[in-house]
Amino acid sequence: MRTETDTSTMTQAPEATTTGGTATAVLVPDTHVPDAHVPDAHVPEAQVPDAAAFRAAMGRFPTGVTLLTQGSDETTSVITLNSLTSVSLEPVLILVSVKADGRMRPRVARSGSFAVNVLNRHQQDLAQEFCRPDRPAGPAAMARLGATRGVLGNAVIPSAEAYFECVLEAEYAAGDHTLLVGRVVALGGGDAAADPLVFHRGGFTRLPADPAASS
């Protein structure tokens, strides 16, 4: 459930970068609170969770599964992601997270666009195939996905649950990952009854069948 945030004590993050001539403001809490005691935020090192514990805890949060694509035909590049977030309705923005030192981030930065394809449960094999280091690329990837060229020149999958074609609006450094904010310029898919692929606790699953759909 999404709640409204009071922006009266927030400022723009100075580290935001933009592309395409459009700036996207990110609001962060203003650390100056007049006449108020600011508690010590130091956390003892022994209490900081390690990566394995963090991964296990986050694994309890079920997500959808997507393929992020950049380019098409000879330039097609694809990776599996489950970090898709809806950000804004006006303008329509989404966010994905990619490895800061990976191959996809500089490709998206250079081209200024990308597409996100939300997979259905029958496309689990694609999710597994495109998370490998030796995943297909170029025309082989287009053929494997059954993809077509989108309006921005990136591969989209008509048989996916949904796809979103985006202009890169901004990038933000976030630890060992980079957050890519995209402005949605086109979308499609979703012709059949909804049956998305779900990732939960380190494995693939699906939503329970809707009793109303079979009655």
Question: How many residues make up the chain in this entry?
Answer: 215
Is residue 29 classed exposed, middle or buried when 0-12, 13-18 and 19+ CB atoms within 10 A define those classes? exposed
Q: Is residue 18 part of a domain?
A: no
**Domain with 166 in it:** 64-204
Position 27 scores a pLDDT of 34
Q: Is residue 153 part of a domain?
A: yes
Q: Is residue 6 part of a domain?
A: no
Amino acid at 23: A
Position 61 scores a pLDDT of 75
Position 213 scores a pLDDT of 56
Peptide bond between residue 91 and the one before it cis (omega within 30 degrees of 0) = yes
Position 210 scores a pLDDT of 64
Position 10 scores a pLDDT of 35
Which residue in 150, 158, 127 sits closest to 76, CA to CA?
150
Position 190 scores a pLDDT of 73
pLDDT tens-digit readout, 44-81: 766 788 888 888 888 877 788 999 999 999 999 999 99
Q: Is residue 82 part of a domain?
A: yes
Position 109 scores a pLDDT of 96
Mean pLDDT per 10-residue interval, the chain, length 215 residues: 35 36 36 48 72 84 90 96 93 96 95 96 94 95 97 96 97 95 93 80 75 54
Q: Is residue 136 part of a domain?
A: yes
Position 145 scores a pLDDT of 97
**Two tokens at 11?**
């400022």
Position 183 scores a pLDDT of 97
Q: What is the domain count for the chain?
A: 1
Q: What is the CATH number of the domain that holds 149?
A: 2.30.110.10
How many angstroms separate the CA atoms of 112 and 120, rounded? 27
